[in-house]
């Protein structure tokens, strides 16, 4: 790997000052993606500033039912935190269905938000890639693109955003708290993730040296019965082909309120606002769910190998809605990834007990 | 003393492996060790028009940067030849860095040497290579119009056309029922846990020691010696532990000799470890292929015609195709048969062995087609196979040395609960899951080396013994099984025997490939030990001081290290007593086994088994989950029940991967694989593993080798993918004739 200098800082101000002063530097948290990218020369930081000593690990309940998650809280700690499991099971499920136990013990929640795409051409330094090297072209458009996005794409980039928990945060209108050379900011999660447009190299509106310090999830009472459904080729340690985070509030069979976000199919964690508007006020029936799914995917664009994702995403939306509304015809005895109270997976062992792949 | 052979003895090297005491080729510490990193071509076809090494040369820690301009020429052009022969065993008939031509992406174009791995990796990124690219073929479809019929494949060992039986075209025309089906297969890679690694060290006398991750130390020795122009006595290979192979290390690929050339150039030992991505273009793969099966049959399900044709992508240097047709040709008693290979040349490294090389794809095609015939005729799939059972080899008419397939079917069906199966597809539901079951036949040839196989047994004065043969332990359990064979041969308990392998200093055994390793090594070990035992018995009966003096040697048996008369066990003495009295520090014997070659035998030799699978398919989302696998195999004698079952289970789980997950995807625009890593090349994880039940039927076989060992390395993967695909059809009513089967096929 390229020669890199390393320093470890103990307070937020020093961290920000150190990185802001050197354009070739970057924050280093869990390192589960960043070190890989350095090793394969996709990231070319000359200096890594280790922020693991910063006091940003707390998970706090907020008055009114929200929660504030320190940016350095580990994925595994967040997944197991009682307020998260009680109030926002979709967050816990999304985390436990991502990566592997080892990675979850290292990876921070702030780093999860900042993770880079898994596009093979982005990670192959000799392939043209607008995200890695602007204006070199997008190899994925006509390449091996089975895992690529069908929503939020542009002619410059179709890389899928890989995060699972980002999808849950998107459904819950989380707010990203940052601190940087210009002071503190609160960024709505939907504004925190940028679609590629003609600048796929820009993924977040952050200034150099601006540090994610926490994520706040606002009170969402209906999220206590939420879920995260992840569809993928293998049972563990794989990124989603399609996923859905959903929370719903029903009254006499009618949908009062709903939150729905999709993963694995879009260039950012995708809030399904069109689907939400179809669902809100409608009867909770399979027909409504299908209409909502079709509305959300109406503008989806496939690029060959990933054409199937459009239909898969529709069906994933319908399935997630059927699950969250307790459709009795569903049998979740295996492979749904639904977690028991202790977060350890279905008791019969047929599911992803150590759930795992982002 | 109960026999050691067959017992579920724990691995003798288990403790060394789990404590890290076992040293692999990349863990050999040598003074002055330097690290080599290969730079691979980023284009699939063309010429190198410039290499700028200046920046790399001045990077910290760099010792040398070698290119085709300054690397030594090799002394011979390598020739692909399967390592089972026991001779040189080059992976392909091409050696890189001898000129400026690029034949495939990833072909080595430079070697960077530095004092640490990290510095070598960094400097490798600073080497600037410019190319003049020319058009390439990297997919089968791109070269299909230029397909040709090779005279021979598989390194010249297998004819390009199988022997034809009768007139299959006429039989197809006359058949009551016809099927004409085409199957497609993705490229597969072996992905052993340990990437291929070579540590090369020269001494002052032009003698080379190579620590290599290899399936055959002698194959490495002879191949490297040939390329370096050295006599084999100047090349010593050490390979105690290898972290899996599955065919990736069965042949000797260029990086091994490149490490030796680099070490000689800089005058320091060199370690060259391929990176995970380099493993995808440095040691072969299961090739992209398509197979067409035509079946003619009566309404009673009996085959009247079978044709099986394959087209696949090979390299520019070699006519390689994995042998997909051979087992399928003799699996059933079809009176007529024809089958042949066609090849397309492409800009890829030469394909090679990948577990079940050929049988894993060929039997998928045949067993999928047989399932279609079962539905066409309305005959139960298992009954259909029984009706077409080949009582003798349908090709030669010879009797089988052993078979056991009907027993495998019967036991498998019992274990699985096949008999009450409702054949109707798409009718069983468990919530949103559609449930289906399927079965398939497994078949794999009994191969043997063509050279003598040797082992040496030495007994010390205290009655303990060391037995040696030059094999490597690449995870199969060979060290453990051979300890058991030696113990029984000598009449000793296993703790009084140590089996040693791992260097070319020891008696020669061919590379352990084609599931032939256990048969070849156990034969030599058994013969060495029995010979040593008989030598000691003869000594005892001739020794006036022995209680056995004057006994007929044929009536003397050995139990627990004590020789005694079979009819009066109280008369006897221990090995130790004999040796001690005669002041003998040790006694040695060399065992040599001359393998039986199939063409020279009155028998046909093949291993058989039966595979059963139950799957659940998500009716809406297309997800496929395998719920149960049952495999029953008849691999002759089982040397160690535990390691044999591990081998079979590993094969079956790999079959699950082949069926549902594994695919290396070529991007024809870049000419490179797009998923050269284990995050994007999917293999099953524990959470994918179903309940797996394995049994073996022990069929006696006095033909294949002295102990009747037919091998378990590959038979486990054969047929698993077909059983799963057949179960997917039973669950959904959908026939998927492509591997892997992924959810988009079922949406």
What confidence tens digit (pLDDT) does each residue in B351-384 have? 999 999 999 999 999 999 999 999 999 999 999 9
At B664, which CATH number?
Answer: 3.30.365.10
Q: Mapping DSSP to helix (H, G, I), strand (E, B) and coil, where does residue B47 land?
A: strand
Binned at pLDDT 50, 70 and 90, residue A332 comes out as: low
d(CA B62, nearest CA chain A) in Å: 13
Closest-CA distance of chain B to residue A267, Å: 18
Tokens representing residue A287 in the block: 């027909």
Instruction: Tell me: do B184 and B302 sit in the same domain.
Output: yes
> B638 vs A353, which has greater pLDDT?
B638
Q: Which residues from A are below 8 Å from B684, CB to CB?
A: 234
Q: How far apart are CA A298 and CA B340, in angstroms?
A: 49
Nearest Cα neighbor of A164 from A69, A96, A77 is A96
- Say yes or no to pLDDT of A29 above 60: yes
Query: Given this model, what pLDDT does residue A11 score?
Result: 97
Regarding whether B725 and B636 lie in a shared domain, the answer is: yes
Q: Does B628 map to a domain? A: yes
State which of B540, B564, B595 marks the end of a domain.
B595
A330 CB within 8 Å of a chain B CB = yes
State mean pLDDT over A148-156: 98
Give the pLDDT score at A1.
73
Stretch A275-304: mean pLDDT, rounded?
98
Q: Average pLDDT over chain B, rounded to whole?
A: 97
Which residue in the set B118, B430, B672 is minimally distant from A1, CB to CB?
A: B118
Average pLDDT estimate for A270-292: 98
**What does the pLDDT read at residue B150?**
98
DSSP character at residue B595? P
Q: Which of B556, B579, B595 is the last residue of a domain?
A: B595
Contact B687 A353 (CB under 8 A): yes
pLDDT over 50 (residue A345): no
Same domain, B299 and B232: no
The nearest alpha carbon in chain B to A346 belongs to B687
Inform me whether the C-beta atom of residue B583 falls under 8 Å from chain A C-beta atoms. no
The answer to whether A59 and A69 are in contact (CB under 8 A) is yes
Cβ–Cβ below 8 Å for A120 and B618? no
Distance CA(B662)–CA(B659), nearest Å, equals: 7
Contact B432 A330 (CB under 8 A): yes
What mean pLDDT comes out for the span A218-226? 96
pLDDT for the residue A329: 84
User: What is the C-alpha R_g of chain A?
Assistant: 20
A239 contacts in B (CB within 8 Å)? 679
Reported confidence tier of residue A349, pLDDT bands at 50, 70, 90: very low
pLDDT band at A351 (very low <50, low <70, confident <90, very high): very low
Whether B577 is a known active-site residue: answer: no
Q: What is the pLDDT of residue A338?
A: 42
Q: Verify whether the Cβ–Cβ distance A120 to B42 is below 8 Å.
A: no
Search chain A and give the residue with CA nearest B276.
A40
CATH number at residue B221: 3.90.1170.50
The reply to whether A237 touches chain B by the CB within 8 Å rule is yes
* Nearest-CA distance B571 → chain A (Å): 58
Determine whether the interchain pair B623/A231 forms a contact, defined as Cβ–Cβ distance below 8 Å.
yes
> Domain check: are B467 and B575 in the same one?
yes
Give me the percent of chain A exceeding a pLDDT of 70: 92
Residue B336 inside a domain? The answer is yes
Question: Are both B503 and B479 inside the same structural domain?
Answer: yes
Token pair for A353: 């007990």
Same domain, B385 and B263: no
Residue A358 pLDDT class (50, 70, 90 cuts): low
In tens, the pLDDT along B331-359 reads: 999 999 999 999 999 999 999 999 999 99
Note whether A146 contacts B665, CB cutoff 8 Å. yes
Looking at residue B204, its pLDDT comes to 87
Q: Is the pLDDT of residue A340 over 90?
A: no
Please answer yes or no on whether B433 and A120 come within 8 Å at the CB atom: no
Nearest-CB residue to B682 (from A139, A143, A238): A238
Inter-helix orientation angle B359-377/B641-660, to 10° = 70
pLDDT beyond 90 at A339 = no
Burial class (CB in 10 A: 0-12, 13-18, 19+), A315: buried
Contact in structure between B689 and B609 (CB atoms under 8 Å): no
Whole-structure pTM over 0.90, yes or no? yes
| B275 and B424 belong to one structural domain | no
- CB of A234 within 8 Å of a chain B CB? The answer is yes
Query: What's chain A look like in SS3?
Result: CCCCEEEECCCHHHHHHHHHCCCCEEEECCCCCHHHHHHCCCCCCCEEEECCCCCCCCEEECCCCCEEEECCCEHHHHHHCHHHHHHCHHHHHHHHCCCCHHHHHHCEHHHHHHCCCCCCCCCCCCCCECCCCCCCCEHHHHCCCCCCCCECCECCECCCCCCCHHHHHHHCCCEEEEEECCEEEEEEHHHHCCCCCCCCCCCCCCCCCCEEEEEEECCCHHHHHCEEEEECCCCCCCCCCEEEEEEEEEECCEEEEEEEEEECCECCCEECHHHHHHHCCCECCHHHHHHHHHHHCCCCCCCCCCCHHHHHHHHHHHHHHHHHCCCCCCCCCCCCCCCCCCCCCCCCCCCCCCCCCC
Interface of B with A in 665-694 (CB under 8 A): 665-667, 669-670, 672, 674-675, 679-680, 682, 684-688
Q: Does A39 touch chain B (CB under 8 A)?
A: yes
CA B276 to chain centre: 20
**The pair of three-digit structure tokens given for residue B710, joined into one six-digit string:** 């037919």
Select from B172, B150, B158 the least CA-distant residue to B326. B158
Of B55, B714, B738, B744, catalytic: B714
On whether both B441 and B550 belong to a single domain, the answer is no
Looking at the fold, whether B440 and B322 belong to one and the same domain comes out as yes
Q: Which of residues 142 through 171 in chain A touch B, CB cutoff 8 A?
A: 142-144, 146-147
Q: Is residue B3 included in any domain, yes or no?
A: no
Nearest to A139 among B670, B682, B742 (CB): B670
CB atoms within 10 A of CB B464: 18
A118 touches chain B (CB under 8 A): yes
Give the pLDDT of residue B400: 98
Cβ contacts of A332 on chain B, cutoff 8 Å: 431
B519 and B438 housed in the same domain: no
**Domain end residue (candidates: B542, B573, B595):** B595
Reading phi first (left if > 0) and then psi (alpha if -120 to 50, else beta), residue B65 is in: beta
Across the interface, whether the CB atoms of A235 and B121 are under 8 A apart is answered no
Is residue B482 domain-shared with residue B418, that is, in the same domain?
A: no
pLDDT tens column, A56-108: 999 999 999 999 999 999 999 999 999 999 999 999 999 999 999 999 999 99
A333 pLDDT tier (thresholds 50, 70, 90): very low
Residue B24 falls within a domain, yes or no? Answer: no
What's the pLDDT score for residue A355?
35
Q: Does B150 lie in the same domain as B101?
A: no
pLDDT of residue B596: 81
State how many domains chain B has.
3
For chain A, say whether B661 makes contact (Cβ under 8 Å). Answer: yes
pLDDT profile of chain B (747 residues), mean per 10? 92 96 95 98 98 98 98 97 92 98 98 97 96 98 97 94 97 98 98 98 95 97 98 97 97 98 98 98 98 98 98 98 98 98 98 97 98 98 98 97 98 97 95 97 95 97 98 96 98 98 96 93 98 98 98 97 97 98 98 88 97 98 97 98 97 98 97 96 96 96 96 97 98 98 97
Place of tokens 């058989």: B608
A225-324: CATH architecture: 2-Layer Sandwich (3.30)
Task: Give the domain range for residue B66.
Answer: 32-135+192-245+249-280
Which residues in chain A have Cβ-Cβ distances shorter than 8 Å to B276? Answer: none
Q: What is the mean pLDDT of residues A239-258?
A: 97
- B58 in any annotated domain: yes
């Amino acid at each position: 790997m390229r020669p890199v200098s390393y320093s470890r800082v103990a307070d937020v101000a020093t961290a920000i000052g150190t990185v802001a002063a050197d354009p070739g530097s970057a924050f280093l948290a869990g390192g589960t993606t960043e070190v890989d990218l350095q090793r394969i020369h996709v990231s070319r930081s000359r200096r890594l500033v280790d922020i693991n000593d910063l006091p940003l690990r707390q998970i706090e309940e907020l008055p009114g039912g929200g929660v504030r998650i320190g940016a350095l809280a580990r994925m595994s700690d967040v997944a197991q935190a009682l307020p998260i499991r009680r109030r926002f099971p979709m967050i816990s499920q999304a985390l436990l269905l991502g990566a592997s136990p080892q990675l979850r013990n290292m990876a921070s929640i702030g780093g999860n938000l900042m993770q880079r795409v898994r596009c093979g051409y982005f990670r192959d330094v000799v392939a043209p890639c607008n995200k890695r090297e602007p204006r070199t072209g997008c190899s994925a458009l006509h390449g091996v693109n089975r895992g690529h996005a069908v929503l939020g794409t542009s002619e410059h980039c179709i890389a899928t955003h890989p995060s699972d928990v980002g999808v849950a945060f998107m459904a819950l209108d989380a707010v990203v708290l940052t601190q940087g050379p210009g002071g503190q900011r609160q960024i709505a999660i939907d504004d925190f993730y940028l679609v590629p447009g003609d600048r796929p190299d820009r993924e977040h509106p952050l200034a150099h040296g601006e540090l994610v310090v926490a994520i706040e999830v606002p009170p969402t009472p209906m999220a206590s019965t939420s879920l995260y459904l992840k569809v993928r080729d293998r049972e563990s340690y794989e990124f989603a082909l399609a996923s859905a985070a959903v929370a719903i509030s029903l009254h006499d069979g009618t949908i009062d309120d709903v939150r729905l976000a999709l993963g694995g199919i879009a260039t950012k964690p995708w809030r399904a606002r069109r689907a939400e508007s179809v669902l809100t006020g409608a009867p909770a029936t399979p027909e409504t769910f299908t209409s909502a799914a079709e509305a959300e995917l109406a503008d989806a664009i496939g690029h060959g190998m990933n054409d199937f994702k459009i239909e898969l995403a529709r069906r994933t939306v319908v399935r997630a809605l059927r699950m969250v509304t307790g459709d009795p015809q569903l049998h979740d005895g295996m492979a749904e990834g639904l977690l028991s109270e202790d977060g350890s997976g279905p008791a019969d062992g047929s599911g992803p007990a150590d759930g795992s792949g982002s | 003393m109960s026999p050691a052979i067959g017992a579920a003895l724990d691995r003798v090297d288990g403790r060394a492996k789990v404590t890290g005491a076992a040293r692999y080729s990349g863990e050999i510490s040598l003074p002055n060790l330097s690290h080599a990193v290969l730079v691979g071509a980023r284009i699939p076809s063309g010429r190198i028009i410039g290499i700028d090494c200046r920046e790399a040369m001045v990077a910290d820690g760099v010792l040398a940067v070698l290119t085709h301009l300054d690397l030594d020429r090799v002394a011979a052009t390598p020739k692909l030849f399967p390592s089972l022969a026991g001779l040189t065993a080059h992976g392909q008939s091409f050696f890189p860095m001898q000129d400026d031509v690029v034949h495939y992406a990833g072909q080595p174009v430079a070697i960077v040497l530095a004092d640490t791995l990290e510095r070598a990796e960094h400097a490798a990124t600073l080497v600037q290579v410019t190319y003049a690219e020319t058009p390439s073929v990297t997919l089968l479809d791109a070269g299909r119009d230029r397909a040709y019929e090779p005279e021979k494949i598989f390194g010249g060992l297998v004819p390009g056309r199988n022997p034809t039986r009768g007139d299959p075209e006429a039989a197809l025309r006359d058949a009551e029922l016809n099927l004409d089906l085409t199957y497609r297969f993705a490229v597969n890679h072996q992905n052993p846990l340990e990437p291929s690694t070579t540590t090369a060290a020269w001494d002052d006398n032009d003698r080379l020691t190579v620590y290599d991750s290899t399936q055959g130390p002698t194959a490495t020795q002879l191949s490297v010696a040939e390329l370096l122009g050295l006599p084999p006595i100047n090349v010593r290979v050490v390979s105690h532990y290898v972290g899996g192979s599955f065919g990736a290390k069965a042949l000797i690929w260029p990086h091994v000799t490149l490490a030796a050339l680099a070490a000689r150039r800089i005058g320091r030992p060199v370690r060259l470890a391929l990176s995970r991505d380099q493993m995808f273009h440095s040691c072969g793969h299961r090739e992209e292929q398509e197979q067409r099966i035509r079946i003619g049959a009566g309404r009673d399900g009996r085959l009247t015609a079978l044709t099986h044709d394959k087209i696949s992508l090979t390299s520019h240097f070699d006519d390689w195709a994995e042998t997909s047709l051979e087992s399928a040709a003799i699996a059933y008693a079809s009176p007529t048969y024809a089958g042949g290979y066609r090849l397309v040349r492409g800009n890829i490294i030469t394909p090679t062995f990948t577990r079940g090389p050929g049988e894993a794809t060929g039997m998928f095609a045949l067993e999928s087609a047989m399932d279609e015939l079962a539905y066409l005729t309305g005959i139960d799939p298992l009954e259909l196979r029984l009706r077409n059972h080949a009582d003798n080899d349908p090709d030669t008419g010879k009797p089988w040395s052993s078979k056991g397939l009907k027993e495998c079917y019967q036991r498998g069906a019992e274990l699985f609960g096949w008999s009450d199966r409702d054949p109707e597809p798409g009718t069983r539901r468990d919530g949103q899951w559609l449930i289906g079951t399927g079965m398939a036949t497994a078949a794999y040839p009994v191969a043997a080396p063509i050279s003598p196989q040797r082992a040496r047994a030495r007994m010390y004065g205290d009655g303990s013994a060391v037995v040696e043969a030059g094999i490597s332990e690449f995870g199969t359990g060979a060290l453990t099984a051979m300890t058991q064979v030696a113990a029984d041969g000598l009449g000793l308990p296993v703790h009084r025997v140590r089996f040693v392998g791992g260097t070319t200093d020891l008696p020669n055994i061919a590379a352990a490939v084609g599931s032939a390793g256990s048969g070849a090594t156990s034969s030599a070990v058994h013969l060495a030990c029995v010979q040593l035992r008989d030598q000691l018995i003869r000594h005892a009966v001739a020794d006036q001081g022995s209680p056995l003096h004057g006994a007929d040697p044929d009536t003397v048996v050995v139990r627990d290290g004590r020789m005694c008369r079979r009819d009066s066990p109280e008369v006897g003495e221990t090995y130790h007593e004999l040796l001690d009295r005669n002041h003998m520090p040790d006694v040695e014997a060399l065992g040599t086994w001359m393998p039986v070659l199939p063409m020279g035998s009155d028998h046909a030799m093949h291993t058989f088994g039966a595979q059963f699978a139950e799957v659940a398919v998500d009716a809406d989302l297309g997800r496929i989950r395998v719920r149960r696998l049952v495999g029953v195999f008849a691999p002759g004698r089982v040397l160690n029940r535990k390691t044999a079952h591990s081998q079979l289970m590993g094969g079956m789980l790999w079959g699950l991967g082949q069926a549902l997950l594994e695919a290396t995807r070529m991007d024809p625009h870049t000419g490179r694989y797009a998923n050269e890593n284990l995050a994007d090349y999917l293999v099953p994880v524990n959470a994918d593993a179903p309940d797996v039940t394995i049994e073996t039927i022990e069929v006696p076989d006095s033909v294949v080798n002295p102990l009747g060992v037919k091998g378990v390395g590959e038979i486990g993967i054969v047929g698993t993918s077909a059983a799963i695909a057949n179960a997917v059809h039973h669950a959904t009513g959908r026939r998927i004739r492509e591997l892997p089967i992924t959810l988009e096929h079922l949406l």
